[in-house]
Amino acid sequence: MITVSVKWQKEIFKEVEIDTTQSPYVFKCQLYDLTGVPPERQKIMVKGGLLKDDADWSTLGVKEGQKLMMMGTADEVVKSPEKGTVFVEDLPEEEQVVAVGHTAGLFNLGNTCYMNSTLQCLHSVPELKSALIKYSHSGRNNDVDQSSHMLTIATRDLFNELDKSVKPVAPMQFWMVLRKKYPQFGQLHNGVFMQQDAEECWTQLLYTLSQSLRSPGSSENPDAVKALFGIELISRIHCQESNEESSETESVYSLKCHISQEVNHLHEGIKQGLKSELEKASPALGRSATYLKESRINALPRYLTVQFVRFFWKRESNQKAKILRKVDYPLELDVYDFCSDDLRKKLDAPRQILRNEEGKKLGLKVNEKSSGQKENDVKMSDAEGSLNGEGESSVVPMDEGEKEAQMTGIYDLVAVLTHKGRSADSGHYVGWVKQENGKWIEFDDDNPKPKIEDDITRLSGGGDWHMAYIIMYKARVVSL
Does residue 466 carry a catalytic annotation? no
**What number of CA atoms fall less than 13 Å from residue 127's CA on the CB side?**
17
CB atoms within 10 A of CB 173: 15
109: buried, middle or exposed (CB in 10 Å: 19+, 13-18, 0-12)? buried
Coil, helix or strand for 138? helix
Q: What is the C-alpha separation between 251 and 207, in angstroms, rounded? A: 12
Q: What is the C-alpha separation between 270 and 257, in angstroms, rounded? A: 4
Instruction: Name every residue whose Cβ is closer than 8 Å to that of residue 90 and which is 6 or more positions away in sequence.
Output: 77, 78, 79, 80
Sign of the torsion angle spanned by Cα atoms 283, 289, 292, 295: positive
Full DSSP string of 165-228 = -SS-B--HHHHHHHHHH-GGGG-EETTEEPP--HHHHHHHHHHHHHHHTB-TT-SS-SBHHHHH
C-alpha pair distances (Å), 179 with each of 157, 183, 320, 353:
17, 5, 22, 47
Rg for the chain (alpha carbons), in Å?
26
Catalytic residue of the set 113, 201, 257, 339: 113
Catalytic residue of the set 238, 239, 265, 428: 428
Task: Check residue 478 and give left, alpha or beta (phi > 0: left; psi -120 to 50: alpha).
Answer: beta
Q: What is the C-alpha separation between 44 and 52, in angstroms, rounded? A: 9
| Cα three-residue angle 257-195-330, rounded to 5 degrees | 25
Q: How many residues does the chain have?
A: 480
CB atoms within 10 A of CB 148: 19
Does residue 137 carry a catalytic annotation? no
Which residues are tagged catalytic?
113, 428
